[in-house]
Structure 1
Amino acid sequence: MLLRRANFILISAVFICALAGNLRAQSGRVPPPAPTPADQREGQQEPVTVFTEEVRVPVFARDEYDRFDPTLAPLDVLVLEDNVPQQVRSVRRIPASVLLLIAAGGELNPAHSLKLSRAAALNVISSLRPDDQLAVMQFDNRTKLLQRWTTEKGEAERAVRSKLHTGSGANTAAALQQAASLFADQPPGNRHIVFITDGVDTPGRQMSAAELVRILSSDAMILGGRNGSAEAMRRLQATQVTVHVLSYTSFGRREIKERDKRSAQSTNAPPGSVRSSGVATAGIDPTMPPTMNRGGAIGPPRGDGITFDSDAKKVRKAYGKAMQRSEQQLKSLAAETGGLLLLPTASADLITAGGEIAQEIGTQYVVTYAPKRPLANSPATEYRRLTVLPRRSGLTLRSRRGYVTAAMK
């Protein structure tokens, strides 16, 4: 009995082993090897990078009381690009990069004074925010960098006080072009030039009055002429710089009228009187003829002296007309870039204007949006017109008139 049971168990075990081997042979499948890290990486999908285009627009914001509005929000701003409404993404404030560009010539403008320009520039510096970047340049026939970018107001003030010196002549277009290049390493969105000038180019060398009158009568002497000013504007647009102009034009024309008035009074004075002699009432220069004072061969004198020479009067008249033309060009420059044009007519007003410009810079926001017409589909030189409007009552907004697509790519 025990022998029969043992045989049954042995036969059952052999049957089960044979059946398992048969099933394994029928499947024909070999278990796959464990995946390696390299195989796992190959199976993963590559991440997709999405590039979002963004246009940055400098916008100055003031409330109903003409003060800086600190509450500006995206819903308060309507941006039209080539008359197409855009969706504003953000409104933010960032530190400004401010370049002081100061004319050091101006020998033909009776109102121009480096002392006044220095005082106005110092007023700009002292009125800016602590984290704003500053740089200083002067120009005459050449452009010179006096102070590189710094957040230390003391460094900029020392440059204006000790390095700013009187020059000769003026090449305004070249100065603007070099100024634009200085912003290459500055953060975009809040870039400014404070341009202290009358906008008239002068040769800065001795020549006859007739030749000088001829030169001043040419439009080529206004902001570098058509080609020079066009190239300067192209570079300013490419770097998205806002230009604020502190102009000597109105002040200079006023001084010319005053000099002509004093000249006429002296001409009508009784023979033999001091006024008829042509001698300046404040300070006599014994080295000059009695009917002339310091001013050189290129034009009328500077300061409080009086000149009755008919050639000098012609030069003054030609320069006055040149300043009228340059004022229109400066107005266009400021409007196109979204800046201010200030036209003081007295020394105190000119100095105060520096602080006004700094306060205006302090009211700027950077408004951003993704253009509905992609920048990637446009040539780098394409110019797009901008209109920025307020969406709520009492709010006043001002911005540049447009931008070049290359500046946003």
Structure 2
Amino acid sequence: MSPTRLLAEQLIARPSVTPQDAGCIDLIAARLAPLGFVCEVIDSGPADFRVRNLWAIRPAALAHQAQDAIKTIVFAGHTDVVPTGPLDQWTSDPFTPTERDGKLYGRGASDMKTSIAAFVVAVEQFLTARPDAPLNIALLLTSDEEGPAVDGTVVVCNQLKARGERLDYCIVGEPTSVDRTGDMIKNGRRGTLSGRLVVKGIQGHIAYPHLARNPIHQLAPALAQLVAIEWDRGNAFFPPTSWQVSNIHGGTGAGNIIPGQVVVDFNFRFCTESTPESLQSRLEAVLQQHGLDYELKWVLGGLPFLTTPGSLVDAVQAAIRDVAGIETELSTTGGTSDGRFIAQICPQVIELGPPNASIHKIDEHIALADIAPLTAIYQRVLDNLAATAS
């Protein structure tokens, strides 16, 4: 059994349903400490939702070169997994790693415990071959990525920023590939901005509409206008910003009452052509134009980030080409990731991991054939970045 698969199975066997870590971070720290990593466990959050985070860094062993001239690469990921769903629908126990038909089954196999295992083994093999490489190497792990994500990576990033720590490159191990490891990487993600709109009317009997004010009727023209707006046209890396309504609720359930209010939940997935402030002001201008009596609460889930082709993208593309023999596709599609937090303190962030077709599903799995290339690609990225730093 390969060392990456062995470590991945040890991690999968730990039932780390968010925000639980179930000992994963302690296991990783024990592997990193003998390599010279300084491992700092940062716990955060209330007692009933305690989150465990790990910041581990190994400074380059170069006495003749100033540390501030050495680049730092971070491998980032999460040890927590989503709930299993109905256990009786799994072919095998989700926390018992099981090989079947050339695949490794278990919750977290693809998202993203195999990536974490590949991080560790790639670093071990790289440092065995090049113990004096001119790179600072770090790992940032959390048990709060699949949950609210308020006590995880963002907490570590804020601490690193307060200390003045400089990060140069980051690879997030999210499952980004489609058919085989390395065929797609994410070099950015859209931002997410949510809102809850409450439009107020006057409740009354449906037979006496002149004595009431129907907020659904008042909202309808504004809603139609918002649906038709072109918020931006996107750019070479991002699709246009999208505005979508996710929920509408109005009424008491009775068929003879005009409701007193209507509640609308909506979300922007926005690119770098728009800002949260511009989207907020444009939407509220429409509401005011229609004379609505409303309350609106906003939640900014994350800013967009983009890493244009440069030293990190070049190193990753070359590594995938050398190991897998394919030209990777750059993409910014999909939801959010913890890359949105890291990008606030690190100028170059990409996401690279195994195929994502089974993530969050019953019988989550990774093809055994995808494990070795993932480790090799991570190691080759280290080789490529070290070569440019020498």
More strand by share: 2
Identify the TM-score tier after normalising by the shorter chain: under 0.3
Return the TM-score normalized by structure 1: 0.25
* Structure whose CA Rg is larger: 1
Return the TM-score normalized by structure 2: 0.25
